[in-house]
Chains A and B, each alone.
Chain A
Amino acid sequence: MEDIILKKNEELKKSRVRTFNKRKILKKSTPYTYILPIGILLLSFYVIPIIMSIYFSFTKYNIMTPAKFVGFKNYLNLAQDKMFMASLKNTIIYTVGVVPLQTSIALLMAVWITKREKSRLNELVKGAMFVPVISSMILIGIIWRIFLNGELSPLNMIFTYVGLNTPNWIGDTKLALPTLMGISIWKNVGYFMVIYISALMDIPKSYYESARVDGANKLHEFFYITVPLLKPTTIMVVFLGCIWSLQTFDLVYTLTGGGPGVSTMTMVLHIYNLVFKQFRAGYAMAVANVLFLLIAIISIFQRKLLQRDKSIY
């Protein structure tokens, strides 16, 4: 009888341990279960494609027949590829030109709007600034082509009316890229302005009131309170702008196709042409990996800056 009781106690003990282990495993695995769906998505649509792109960049691959390993040939060819060099140069000029301007305009517009009392004009400006953001880039490309192209286009008619020569907006190799940059700024400013407005609303009004008591004027307020406290937002806006600019494609595709000549060729458009027009997918992936590297460097840089930033309010 005693033996039976002992045996039962032993079994009960074991079962408790098993239940405890099960609970422990379940508890530990729960967070992983929660991130499983997004994990699968990230793995399928980000990690695996990046690894595949690195692999294919070392091959001659036309997307329809099996890839042939060619080592570093694609990367070595990049230096001699005038189209790639032009696209790299244009992409950098585009980014360097667009980002500071769109960030400054977005900040100034946001400050102007938040400082004003709520009015119809205020709402109209906000709405008007945001319309390009939600419009399709393809549609914008088509509309701007009509708007800029030809003697009878609306913009050129205004130029003619005020007695100015009508610039050859997208037909002049020197003017085509700046024109695209201008359109891009016009489209993006509304989005970044909204981000700035929400950040500005978080700055306590008491800071400005104290500064005013100390004799600060509007410029002092802007440079010594607004700008420093918006630093994390500005870093985010700048780097988001950089990534968008480095990935510019649809506006160029619809408006100029990279021309005239190669004056507006961007890296993503070059990649698109290589894959879908020329079927040189292996080589295109080498170009894509250079772009990936550029974006990665910028993202790491942004992370470092944000980590270093200690501004709190």
Chain B
Amino acid sequence: MKRLFAMALILVMTVSVLAGCGSTSTEKSEEATKELTVWLPPIGENDKPVWEPILKEFEEKNNVKINLEIIPWEGYPEKYATAIAAGEGPDVGYMYAEMFPQFIKMGAVEDLTNYLTEKDMENYIYIDDCKMLGGIYGLAIEAANPAVLYYNKDILAELGEEPPKTWEDFRRIAKKATKDTDGDGKIDQWGFSQGWGANFFGDLNWNWYGFLWQAGGELYNDDLKTVRFNDEAGLETAQFLYDLKFKDKVIPDNAMAQNNKEMLQTTFGPGKSAFTIWLSSAAHEILDKSFPDLNYGFITSLENKDMGTFASVDQLTLMSATEDKELSFKLMQHMLSADSMTKFHKYHPRAPISKDEPYQGDPQLKEMIENDKGIYRPLVVAPHGVEVYDYLWKQLQRMMVGEVEPKEALDEAAKYANDLLAEDQ
């Protein structure tokens, strides 16, 4: 009897193990036939309740159930990759520039060129930024939040300086601003609180791209088969940043341990630096809220040979694996409609993404958003972006910690990038 019981127990355990390894396809087939899944990252602080009424309208009009999942930024592309590989990805997704090449190459996202009407092409403000690798693989949902150079008005006034326009102005003011204000022999007011300690290459957005474009440089050559960030302009950019750190000593010592957001909060916000660089939305979301006494201003871009600063154009994507492409695209259009985005931007104020949507963003930024389009721009979507930028970030970190010279850092990153790109040819 005991043996029989033991055998039965083993059988149950074995079946459980096998069941655990199996799929849940049978459960799914019993559910409603029309069901769409949308994956979004957290754009604001609490997006789900804002999106739910918008999506409910679509559900009622189209007799469809929509599952909205907010995917945390931590491990965001990893979640997409693993889910798509397992056939469990969303019907409508959200991607940023660096993510696109790999998913386009795998055929995971749909080219929207044939879905878009002339009216759509006219209406979506950032449609040209969505053209990539021979197609239109997404529609902008989050744009016009450029990296800006914040300056402390009080520090500049004390130094008798105006907001900088050129690299020379910036460097001069940063040098003058770096000083020991309490006479204890330690620097406690810095010129430029720029963070180089991020463990992710995302901080290239504000630390590198803008300065590179201002120097007249680019990341990739036009054919996207080789990189050019180690050319003369790239070298001038790297040397400029290197000199700020080691020659002028205007960047705080703990720059290698903090990211730019942390620098904004720990150094610029409390009034301990003349300049910092980060997203324009931080004006309203961080500085005004956490540092109400800070007297600050900002400029979109410094000028060297050119002007330029980074502004991402993140996009909604139609996933190729969706069973009903027409319905999923219709959902994308609904989410991006002036009506829906007006409702969304009411809670998370941002610039409009279509011409028929009113501006509801920070009033301080309105002029910049309307007049500086062209100065702020996204990355060109290029093959192996993730690997190239990750390696470049690590080499620039090595440079900013004094391990290597600017040329060595850039040449090493360029060699790595060109070798990778050559594998595809």
Q: With A149-B197, A276-B75, A278-B387 given, can you name 8 additional A-B contacts, CB distance below 8 Å?
A: A33-B10, A149-B262, A150-B254, A172-B256, A261-B397, A261-B398, A261-B401, A262-B398
Q: Is B422 an interface residue (CB 8 A)?
A: no
Q: Is A241 an interface residue (CB 8 A)?
A: no
Give, as a whole number of angstroms, the nearest-CB distance from B404 to chain A. Answer: 8
Task: Give the contacting residue for A259; candidates B75, B262, B394; CB below 8 A.
Answer: B394
The majority secondary structure among interface residues of chain B is helix
Which residues on the B side are within 8 Å of A30 (C-beta)?
3
Q: When the two chains form their complex, are residues A37 and B102 in contact, meaning their CB atoms are under 8 A apart?
A: no
Q: Is B108 an interface residue (CB 8 A)?
A: yes
Q: How many residues of A contact B (CB 8 A)?
A: 40
Which residues on the A side are within 8 Å of B75 (C-beta)?
276
Which residues on the A side are within 8 Å of B262 (C-beta)?
149-150
Q: Is B266 an interface residue (CB 8 A)?
A: yes
Stretch at the interface among B13-21, B293-301, B369-377: B13-21
Q: List 27 A-B contacts (CB under 8 A).
A: A40-B17, A63-B81, A63-B85, A83-B394, A149-B197, A150-B262, A152-B266, A168-B257, A169-B257, A171-B196, A171-B254, A172-B256, A172-B401, A253-B199, A256-B197, A256-B199, A257-B199, A259-B197, A259-B394, A260-B197, A260-B401, A261-B398, A262-B398, A276-B75, A276-B78, A277-B387, A277-B390
What are the interface flags for B243-268 relative to A under an 8 Å C-beta threshold, 1 for contact and 0 otherwise? 00000000001111110001000100
Residues of A with Cβ closer than 8 Å to B? 30, 33-34, 36-37, 40-41, 44, 62-65, 82-83, 148-152, 168-173, 253, 255-262, 273, 276-280
Give, as a whole number of angstroms, the nearest-CB distance from A12 to chain B. Answer: 26
The majority secondary structure among interface residues of chain A is loop
Q: When the two chains form their complex, are residues A37 and B14 in contact, meaning their CB atoms are under 8 A apart?
A: yes
Of the listed residues A82, A83, A273, A277, the one surrounded by the most CB atoms of chain B closer than 10 A to its CB is A277
Q: When the two chains form their complex, are residues A258 and B17 in contact, meaning their CB atoms are under 8 A apart?
A: no
Q: When the two chains form their complex, are residues B390 and A62 in contact, meaning their CB atoms are under 8 A apart?
A: no
Give, as a whole number of angstroms, the nearest-CB distance from A307 to chain B. Answer: 32
Of the listed residues B75, B77, B108, B197, the one surrounded by the most CB atoms of chain A closer than 10 A to its CB is B197
Of the listed residues B78, B107, B412, the one surrounded by the most CB atoms of chain A closer than 10 A to its CB is B78
Q: When the two chains form their complex, are residues B17 and A260 in contact, meaning their CB atoms are under 8 A apart?
A: no
Given A34-B10, A276-B81, A276-B82, A171:B257 Cβ within 8 A: yes
Of the listed residues A44, A64, A148, the one surrounded by the most CB atoms of chain B closer than 10 A to its CB is A64
Q: When the two chains form their complex, are residues A149 and B106 in contact, meaning their CB atoms are under 8 A apart?
A: no
Of the listed residues A33, A151, A259, the one surrounded by the most CB atoms of chain B closer than 10 A to its CB is A259
Q: When the two chains form their complex, are residues A260 and B256 in contact, meaning their CB atoms are under 8 A apart?
A: yes
Given A63-B81, A150-B257, A151-B254, A261:B403 Cβ within 8 A: yes
Given A34-B10, A62-B102, A277-B386, A168:B85 Cβ within 8 A: no
Give, as a whole number of angstroms, the nearest-CB distance from A199 to chain B. Answer: 33
Given A30-B3, A259-B199, A261-B401, A273:B390 Cβ within 8 A: yes
Q: When the two chains form their complex, are residues A276 and B77 in contact, meaning their CB atoms are under 8 A apart?
A: yes
Q: When the two chains form their complex, are residues A259 and B397 in contact, meaning their CB atoms are under 8 A apart?
A: yes
Q: When the two chains form their complex, are residues B102 and A279 in contact, meaning their CB atoms are under 8 A apart?
A: yes
Give, as a whole number of angstroms, the nearest-CB distance from B190 to chain A. Answer: 11
